[in-house]
Amino acid sequence: MLRIMSPVMGAILLCAQSLPAMAADNASAANSGNAEQQLREQIEAKRDQLTGAANLAPATQNNVATMLDAPVETADAPAQVQQP
């Protein structure tokens, strides 16, 4: 019985020693993602300030309804062939 369990226990212990390293990688990745986002926002704000984009007024957005309510111009549409 001991001969059967020895390789199994060895495999379990071999895999178990790498678990703390994998857990540490996941924790640091979560923290670095937030730090990267903050750094990206700071860089974008600095770039907008240097290029003068920060001084521009935001563009007014057209309402979706105005686009849907506009008539469709079909004067330049190709002729449709009727199928029998």
Per-residue pLDDT of the chain (84 residues; tens, 9 = 90+): 778 888 888 888 888 888 777 777 665 555 667 888 899 999 999 988 888 887 877 666 566 666 677 777 888 878 888 776
How far out from the chain centre does Cα 59 lie? 24
DSSP 17: T
Q: Cα Rg for the chain, rounded, in angstroms?
A: 31
Please name the helix (run of DSSP H) or strand (run of DSSP E) that holds residue 46, with its range, or none.
helix 19-51
Tell me the C-alpha distance between 23 and 15, whole Å. Answer: 13
Residues in the chain: 84
45: tokens are: 């704000």
